[in-house]
Amino acid sequence: MAYLPSNILLTPEEMARADRMSAESGIPSFGLMRRAGYAVAATALSHFPAAVRFAVLCGPGNNGGDGYVAARQLADGGAEISVHALGDPDDLKGDAALAFQLWGGSVAPLREFQPQPGDVVIDALFGAGLSRKVSDEIAGVISSVERAGVPVLAVDLPSGVDGRSGKPLGAAFKAHCTITFMTRKPGHLLLPGKSLCGDIEVADIGIPRRIIEAAGGSISENGPPIWSAHLPFVGADSHKYRRGHLAVFSGETSKTGAARLSAIAGLKTGAGLVTLASPEDAMAANAAQLTAVMLKKVDTNAELSDWLENAKLSAFVLGPGFGVGSRARDFVLALKDSPLVLDADGITSFRDDPAILFDAFEDGETHLVLTPHDGEFGRLFPDIAADETLSKPDKALKAARRAHAAIVYKGADTVIASPDGRVAINTNGPPWLATAGSGDVLAGMIGAFLAQGLPAFEAAAAGVYLHGEAAGLAGPYMTAEDLAGQAGHAMADLVARF
């Protein structure tokens, strides 16, 4: 069986479309279910060779159908099997009814299921078709399995997890591993779904790739296929200005560290030049701690305008340690025609009237990148943040369209969205990335990619990815300085791959 490495993600609706398209192109749908069931059986045997019994829990739709096929396959191989069904299996329709016939063995009602030591639960209750909260009866079965501590192999998704958003509807299994088909779904990568799936395997059940690509929308896993074509060639003849000049704004004397982290990360991410724009009172503090990064005094709006007119600056980072208030707003408005990463205090400065920011960056190609964590997202987009019906990708996309900006909606499942509809979910960030100063480093990395000419969405996605790679190199006890320090190695690894 082939397992597919792919960064395409299909929502449950898009997967259903792929299903229909493959049926229309003459591929028998029961063949897909059969191969899905075989893949479940193969995964069950390879992960749990010492299982005493496979307890297959089958739902009322095609997810249950996959369970019946797997039960037959495992029984034919000599394994001990029990099958419990939600609802009356005689009511099953279409392929699921055929799969039930194929099983041909006994089926007990789900409410009678009692996990036993040595069981491996094959969870085939609901997959892509979960449409509402699970009932108390099902929640009871889920908690009895959890209490018994027996492992769960989830078919397509842990039942209860919404494949679109990764949110549990009522209750959900926590699986030891999940086997899904053709591509992963957003719910496999978004929290808390990601933490409920365990190891994820993707089985090829025979839907042609052209159909998967045609059925897919715009959500993918973040990775080089999205942005590698835009990476600048870093060759021996590359003049330093061709790698761009990044300007990072420093805060006042007592808050200069954050901007320096951004600046150093920007330099190591390949910006040709990096200048820290510092208020006069912070010049000494900054000068004492910088070597390769240049320093420029910028206190007032007039000084900023003068600098913008006379220097060749490619991109800007404003926010880390900058301070919240009118100075931040004035500077951002002066930068409205330039590629800009707006982070931290820069974002919070617009909380009272976000429209001023959104309107300022409306014209031309998208050239603003906003990097909010949850709290900052809620300050700029309170209505979107509060809408429980939206998934994290939905929220990021809605925000991107409103703000005319690429949005990096940070978290353990960072989502990057573009106003043109593209959305990427990042997966390479290790848990130790949540450390003080980590966001400052990220802003500098994205700024450096903007300075090197990447469009806003690509720069944002590449920055988030590089951040994860650098954290992997820096290891679990890293500080933000270590993280910035590893950016050059992570960049070199990346460039070597293309």
Ligand X SMILES: NC(=O)C1=CN([C@@H]2O[C@H](COP(=O)(O)OP(=O)(O)OC[C@H]3O[C@@H](n4cnc5c(N)ncnc54)[C@H](OP(=O)(O)O)[C@@H]3O)[C@@H](O)[C@H]2O)[C@@H](O)CC1
Please report, as ranges, the residues that interact with ligand X according to CB under 6 A: 15, 18-19, 32-33, 36, 59-66, 126-135, 155-156, 181, 205
Q: With contact defined as beta carbons under 8 Å apart, do 36 and 181 qualify?
A: yes
Least Å from the CB of residue 180 to ligand X: 8
d(CA 234, CA 224): 16
Peptide bond into 192 cis (omega under 30): yes
Nearer to ligand X, 205 or 285 (CB): 205
User: In the set 22, 82, 159, 371, which binds K ion (CB under 5 A)?
Assistant: 159
User: The sheet that has 81-85: what strands, in order across it?
Assistant: 108-109, 81-85, 53-58, 119-124, 152-155, 177-181, 199-203
Among residues 458, 450, 462, 453, which one has the least CA distance to residue 487? 462
d(CA 187, CA 221): 12
Partner from ligand X, K ion, none binding residue 54, C-beta < 5-8 Å depending on class: none
Nearer to ligand X, 170 or 192 (CB): 170
Nearer to K ion, 131 or 289 (CB): 131
Least Å from the CB of residue 158 to K ion: 6
Among residues 72, 70, 209, which one has the least CA distance to residue 127? 70
The string over 304-313, giving b where at least 16 C-beta atoms fall within 10 Å of a residue's C-beta and e elsewhere, is beebbeeeeb
Q: Examine residue 222 and tell whether it contacts K ion (CB under 5 A).
A: no
Least Å from the CB of residue 142 to ligand X: 12
132 is in an annotated binding site: yes
Nearer to ligand X, 1 or 311 (CB): 1
- Span interacting with K ion, options 123-131, 186-194, 433-441, 446-454, rule CB under 5 A: 123-131
79 is in an annotated binding site: no
Q: With contact defined as beta carbons under 8 Å apart, do 125 and 131 qualify?
A: no
Q: Examine residue 123 and tell whether it contacts K ion (CB under 5 A).
A: yes
319 is in an annotated binding site: no
CA max distance for the chain: 82
Least Å from the CB of residue 421 to ligand X: 23
Nearer to K ion, 189 or 335 (CB): 189
Q: Examine residue 155 and tell whether it contacts K ion (CB under 5 A).
A: yes
At a CB cut-off of 8 Å and minimum separation 6, what does 113 contact? Answer: 55, 57, 82, 84, 141, 144
- Span interacting with K ion, options 152-160, 285-293, 333-341, 471-479, rule CB under 5 A: 152-160
- Span interacting with K ion, options 33-41, 77-85, 120-128, 300-308, rule CB under 5 A: 120-128
Nearer to K ion, 16 or 412 (CB): 16
Least Å from the CB of residue 73 to ligand X: 14
CB atoms within 10 A of CB 480: 22
Beta strands 273-278; 340-342: pairing state? unpaired
65 is in an annotated binding site: yes
Nearer to ligand X, 116 or 135 (CB): 135
d(CA 409, CA 395): 9
439 is in an annotated binding site: yes
Per the annotation, binding residues for (6S)-NADPHX are 62-66, 127-133, 156, 258, 321, 373, 440
Residues that bind K ion (CB under 5 A): 123, 127, 154-155, 159
